[in-house]
């Protein structure tokens, strides 16, 4: 295995920093169980250093002409693309995701975000409000120091999706990656400095949940953006409220994918595969409740099983591999437990359900398909965050909508139909932040992304994210005399 040990556990003020007093973080390659790097969770001294330098760098950064800030972000995008191969390899080692995915969905998506926000930095402006003589103008100001906290599944992409709009608005960011995937954000921090960002503007502190918790309540912090589970979101949202801090919460889901009887079955099967087995099922927006019209359910399931059987499970660094291991053994154990729950609840196991033969080492698990699933089963109600698909059948449009919405989550939803009116009609009634018609899981940075209900608050990407990384100052300008009562 390549040497991926970073020069320090944290990247602060333009340089690697180490403090071995922090608890050890073992970075494990999910395909073999090998420890590939050893880091240390941030100590209070490291956290203080990161926040102090971010506070200083933010002032310098916000004072630059926006066009210059945009140029730095676009340079970051260029470097990410130039180094895509090396960054993708590192992401694969960090997460266990197949290289065929990381080459197209991680640093490249991060680069898209940096390019997008680099391009609009200079057009983040206020407005002028005429009052018939007097007028008001508004200034869109940065919030200050933002904290980003990431999940393990898309470490590079999450760090870019959070930092690009934050920095475009003139903020600094201290980013804490998931303790399970600590490597990639450090590379992004190096690249920011190389591209000309002031030292301290984007710092990375690695650590466990307690480090995240310490960041969220620190008086130097003005905003917190979390990508994580609902239970963590609830804690972080509450802790941020103590200091009336701004928040963005990108949380979990149990999203519906509805396949109507008039759908193109081959496309719907492709979408169901992407919505459940990409990244070995570790995607927040996955369409894990696949509602299929009863008339086509049998044909759909048969084709789905036939195609899923051809998936190549293997070494994630092999370009032929479609399905790699899960991020940790603990996460896999949780998924295997859900598979047992599904069986005991009476769902029919159509495919998979265990550890693939010949893959006893590493955190491998088979892509798993259940049919005959009902809404009350736990495998249909709870987020599993692994490659487990539940097929449910329905007979009317109204029924499909009602059942799709009967969840506390509201991250995403998909509809497959060849009836254009039905597609729009159904999507209009679905309680989800992101919907697809005849597609699934594509998240271009030009489109806002985020959840409703328990799946989150705020939006990432697009111009919408700017609202969540800036605040408006109103300035009243009087051209007339001041009237007073006496």
Which residues are identified as catalytic?
A: 250
Rounded to an integer, what is the distance from CA 175 to the centroid of its chain? 14
Task: Decide the pairing of beta strands 434-437 and 412-416.
Answer: parallel
Radius of gyration, CA atoms only, the chain = 24
Nearer to ligand NAI, 377 or 412 (CB): 412
Nearer to ligand NAI, 297 or 454 (CB): 454
- Nearest approach in angstroms of CB 141 to ligand NAI is 26
The contacts found for 38-42 with CB under 8 angstroms, 24 or more apart, are: 38/5, 39/6, 39/9, 39/182, 39/206, 40/9, 40/206, 41/9, 41/179, 41/206, 41/207, 41/208, 41/210, 41/211, 42/9, 42/10, 42/176, 42/205, 42/206, 42/207, 42/211
CA distances from 143 to 54, 245, 246, 249 (A): 12, 10, 9, 17
Q: Which residue has the tokens 């088979």?
A: 366
Q: Which residues form the interface with ligand NAI (CB under 6 A)?
A: 149-153, 176, 178-179, 208-209, 212-213, 216, 227-229, 232, 235-236, 250-253, 284, 383, 385, 411, 451, 456
- Nearest approach in angstroms of CB 148 to ligand NAI is 10
Nearer to ligand NAI, 95 or 393 (CB): 95
Q: Which residue has the tokens 């869109």?
A: 140
Q: Which helix (H) or strand (E) holds 394?
A: strand 388-394
Residue among 232, 237, 235, 233 nearest 247 (CA): 237
- Nearest approach in angstroms of CB 211 to ligand NAI is 7
What span, in angstroms and rounded, lies between the C-alpha atoms of 286 and 486?
Answer: 66
What span, in angstroms and rounded, lies between the C-alpha atoms of 210 and 176?
Answer: 11
- Nearest approach in angstroms of CB 352 to ligand NAI is 21
Nearer to ligand NAI, 253 or 367 (CB): 253
Nearer to ligand NAI, 95 or 322 (CB): 95
- Nearest approach in angstroms of CB 444 to ligand NAI is 14
DSSP per position, 122-150: GG----EEE-SSSEEEEEEEE-SEEEEE-
- Nearest approach in angstroms of CB 215 to ligand NAI is 7
Nearer to ligand NAI, 100 or 153 (CB): 153
């Amino acid at each position: 295995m390549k040497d991926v040990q970073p020069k320090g556990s944290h990247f602060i003020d333009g340089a690697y920093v180490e403090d071995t007093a922090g608890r050890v973080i073992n970075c494990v390659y999910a395909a073999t169980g090998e420890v590939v790097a050893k880091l240390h969770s941030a100590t209070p001294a490291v956290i203080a250093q990161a926040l102090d330098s971010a506070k200083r760098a933010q002032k310098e950064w916000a004072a630059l002409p926006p066009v210059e800030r945009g140029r730095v972000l676009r340079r970051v995008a260029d470097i990410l693309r130039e180094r895509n191969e090396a960054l993708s390899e590192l992401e694969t080692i960090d997460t266990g995701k197949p290289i065929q995915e990381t080459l197209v969905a991680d640093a490249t998506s991060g680069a898209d975000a940096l390019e997008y926000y680099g391009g609009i930095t200079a057009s983040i402006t206020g407005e002028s409000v005429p009052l018939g003589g007097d007028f008001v103008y508004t200034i869109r100001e940065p919030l200050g120091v933002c904290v980003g906290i990431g999940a393990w599944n898309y470490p590079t992409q999450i760090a870019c999706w959070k930092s690009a709009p934050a920095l475009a608005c003139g903020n600094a960011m201290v980013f804490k990656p998931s303790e399970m995937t600590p490597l990639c954000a450090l590379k992004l921090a190096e690249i920011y400095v190389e591209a000309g960002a002031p030292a301290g503007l984007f710092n990375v502190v690695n650590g466990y949940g307690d480090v995240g918790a310490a960041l969220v309540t620190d008086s130097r912090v003005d905003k917190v953006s979390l990508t994580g589970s609902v239970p963590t979101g609830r804690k972080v949202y509450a802790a941020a409220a103590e200091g009336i801090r701004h928040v963005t919460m990108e949380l979990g889901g149990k999203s519906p994918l509805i396949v109507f009887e008039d759908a193109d079955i081959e496309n719907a099967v492709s979408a169901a595969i992407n919505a459940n087995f990409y990244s070995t099922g570790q995607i927040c927006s996955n369409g894990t409740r696949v509602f299929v019209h009863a008339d086509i359910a049998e044909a759909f399931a048969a084709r789905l099983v036939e195609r899923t059987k051809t998936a190549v499970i293997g070494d994630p660094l092999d370009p032929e591999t479609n399905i790699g291991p899960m991020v940790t053994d603990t996460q896999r154990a949780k998924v295997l437990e859900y598979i047992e729950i599904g069986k005991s609840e009476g769902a029919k196991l159509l495919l998979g359900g265990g550890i693939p033969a010949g893959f006893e080492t590493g955190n491998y698990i088979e892509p798993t398909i259940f049919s005959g699933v009902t809404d009350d089963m736990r495998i249909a109600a709870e987020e599993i965050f692994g490659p487990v698909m539940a097929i449910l059948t329905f007979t009317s449009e109204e029924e499909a909508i009602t059942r799709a919405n009967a969840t506390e989550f509201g991250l995403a939803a998909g509809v497959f139909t060849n009836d254009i009116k039905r597609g729009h009609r159904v999507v209009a009634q679905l309680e989800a932040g992101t919907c697809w018609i005849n597609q699934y899981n594509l998240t271009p940075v030009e489109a806002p992304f985020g959840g409703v209900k328990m799946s989150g608050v705020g939006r990432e990407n697009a111009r919408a994210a700017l609202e969540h990384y800036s605040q408006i100052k109103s300035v009243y300008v009087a051209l007339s005399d001041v009237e007073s009562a006496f």
